[in-house]
Structure 1
Amino acid sequence: MQDINVSVAEFLDHHGDEIVDAWQRRTFFAGRTGGDCRAVLNGVAEVVLAGRPEDPTAAGFDAIRDLLGEIAMDRIRRGETAAQTAVTLHDLKPPVVELWTSSRDGDDALPGALRLSTALDTLRLVAMELVGGESADLVEERQQLLELSTPVIRMWDGILAVPLIGTLDSARTQATMEGLLQAIVDQQARVAILDITGVSTVDTAVAQHLLRTVMAARLMGAKCVISGIRPQIAQTMVQLGIDLGDVTTRATLADALAYGLRQIGLVVAAADNH
């Protein structure tokens, strides 16, 4: 009987087009070329042929290590967690093993399936080792970007403002809330302004994020006002039935600042030059 490692390697070569086609429809290779799929498949075939499907240091895995790391880290930089990436890598196994078992009915069916399964599990291990080595730095980098994208500005003694730009998500809302609450404590602020002039869209989820931030500021003893609600956003909110409740709103940041000044007992008036 032909060596099982040779049989499996020949199977991967013979059915390469089918496997590449199946892999390109899987999440891990979304947006990648068929050449990337083929390179990874060749690496798997090489470690199987060498009889080292369980060895992450095998030459076949070394040949595709950088490519695997690049694809995995690209997915994580786009917001996917390491656990989610591991799941997408696991999804590469079923189409290969199922194709093998459907094409075999002899004594080599089970041993071959085990070798393929082991090689693809090791493939996932190789990729996740690379992700693990860089993920801590990536998390720190993302946190720094979040902090830079949500600055807390001192507008006046006792008045803070947070200009929000772009899209609000859970992570950014949490960073905004933490930064604002800490600034309220540090500066003993009495008024906090959330300016959404630069927010592209406001849907139900964004409204909930804003309300949570407003409630947190209130618990710290600061009055909160939302400014920068443009006409089109106001119309969208009405159509969606979004209710900001008793939250104070103002059309512009200037209006919100004037409101804040009144709350601390100050009034801005034109200077009398006469």
Structure 2
Amino acid sequence: MGCARVTVQAVESVRLVELLSERREALGAEWVEAVARTLRGRISAAELDRELQELFTALVEALRRGGQDWQGEEYAEVRALLTELSRNRARQGFSTTETATSVLAFKAILAPTTDSSAQDITAYLELARLMDALALFTMEVYARTREELISAQSDQLLELSTPVVKLWDGVVAVPLVGTLDSVRTQVVMEKLLQALVDTGSEQAIIDITGVPAVDTEVAQHLLKTVVAARLMGAECTISGIRPQIAQTIVALGIQFGDIVTKATLADALKHALRRGGIDPTETGGRP
């Protein structure tokens, strides 16, 4: 039974190669036109023609060499071209449907008619199954690429949302805005420690004015950052303790120990300058 199936598939593959080769230019042009309608001009005609014509050629060659096992070695070039296509569509902002249509539209150009022979119809059905499998492969690659892009964008936003600024010689500050979670705490810690090394600062201010709420978890994250800075030889001050934040801290029984806290960033800066032996009231000080 297995040998018979392989033989039938081989015959179907031969017929598919014949059908595709007989009208190679016309079918390729129809495929490009069908896909272009779904993409609405967001890819140049030349680029789209190159992508699909290369894929057409690779598909015919794979059918000629290895039948219809799209996971086989014979389809390596087809898979490589589909991977490139999927990644490009994901980076260019196309939807999953628009990406899959670039493959599925190939079925329509070779759809059988009432005049088609039984052999041609059978060959077309095998082609349809093959293109469905390749479309699923394309969607999987697209989904992975989108996940990678989203992850990279999240990392970039995280970097942008946790700046470390130099306020004075020997004093750096981290103004936090938004929720402080474990991932962001790690980024804050790494950037703060690197800034301490780069600037040689011995005073660090962690400003939480922009943090909407402080709970036990947020407090633990702050304490870890302070301890890490101390291990680098720097003293930390936490600023931005608003009245509602102070009430929450008291209600939760959170203990900051010997860590200095201040209501505003200005108060924290004055405190850090005094620790560094600078009188902020003097006009001779220079940042």
Q: TM-score, normalised by structure 2?
A: 0.51
Q: Gapped runs of 5+ residues in structure 1?
A: 1-53, 70-121
Pairing 1:143-154 to 2, within 5 Å after superposition? 143-154=155-166
> Is 1:213–2:195 an aligned residue pair?
no
**Contact kept? 1:68, 1:127, Cα under 8 Å:** no
Pairing 1:195-214 to 2, within 5 Å after superposition? 195-214=207-226
For 1:212 and 1:141, locate their aligned partners in 2 and report how far apart those are by CA, in whole Å: 26
> Is 1:187–2:217 an aligned residue pair?
no
For 1:200 and 1:126, locate their aligned partners in 2 and report how far apart those are by CA, in whole Å: 42
Shift of 1:125: 7.0
Shift of 1:131: 2.4
- Judged with a 3 Å threshold, the aligned counterparts in structure 2 of structure 1 residues 128 and 172 are, in CA distance, closer, same or farther, namely farther
Could you tell me which residue of structure 1 aligns to residue 145 of structure 2? 133
> Is 1:255–2:267 an aligned residue pair?
yes
For 2:264 and 2:176, locate their aligned partners in 1 and report how far apart those are by CA, in whole Å: 13
Shift of 1:203: 0.6
Shift of 1:241: 1.4
Could you tell me which residue of structure 1 aligns to residue 280 of structure 2? 268
Q: What is the aligned counterpart of 2:258 among 246, 249, 254?
A: 246
For 1:149 and 1:199, locate their aligned partners in 2 and report how far apart those are by CA, in whole Å: 12
> Is 1:226–2:231 an aligned residue pair?
no
* Larger-Rg structure: 2
Cα RMSD after superposing both structures: 3.3
- Judged with a 3 Å threshold, the aligned counterparts in structure 2 of structure 1 residues 68 and 212 are, in CA distance, closer, same or farther, namely farther
3-state SS of paired residue (1:265): coil
- Judged with a 3 Å threshold, the aligned counterparts in structure 2 of structure 1 residues 270 and 218 are, in CA distance, closer, same or farther, namely closer
> Is 1:157–2:179 an aligned residue pair?
no
> Is 1:66–2:96 an aligned residue pair?
yes
For 2:136 and 2:191, locate their aligned partners in 1 and report how far apart those are by CA, in whole Å: 38
For 2:227 and 2:98, locate their aligned partners in 1 and report how far apart those are by CA, in whole Å: 44
For 1:149 and 1:261, locate their aligned partners in 2 and report how far apart those are by CA, in whole Å: 26
> Runs of at least 4 residues of structure 1 off by over 4 A?
54-57, 122-128
Size of the alignment, in residue pairs?
Answer: 165
Spell out, residue by residue over 1:183-213, the C-alpha distance to the aligned partner (whole angstroms, 9 max, x if none): 0000001000000011100011111111111
Shift of 1:169: 1.2
Spell out, residue by residue over 1:6-64, the C-alpha distance to the aligned partner (whole angstroms, 9 max, x if none): xxxxxxxxxxxxxxxxxxxxxxxxxxxxxxxxxxxxxxxxxxxxxxxx9899xxxx9xx
For 2:197 and 2:283, locate their aligned partners in 1 and report how far apart those are by CA, in whole Å: 34
Shift of 1:137: 2.7
**Contact kept? 1:163, 1:198, Cα under 8 Å:** yes
For 1:201 and 1:67, locate their aligned partners in 2 and report how far apart those are by CA, in whole Å: 41
- Judged with a 3 Å threshold, the aligned counterparts in structure 2 of structure 1 residues 128 and 224 are, in CA distance, closer, same or farther, namely farther
Shift of 1:259: 0.7
For 2:219 and 2:136, locate their aligned partners in 1 and report how far apart those are by CA, in whole Å: 39
Q: TM-score, normalised by structure 1?
A: 0.53
- Judged with a 3 Å threshold, the aligned counterparts in structure 2 of structure 1 residues 243 and 126 are, in CA distance, closer, same or farther, namely farther
Q: Identical aligned pairs, as a percentage?
A: 53
Could you tell me which residue of structure 1 aligns to residue 187 of structure 2? 175
Pairing 1:88-99 to 2, within 5 Å after superposition? none
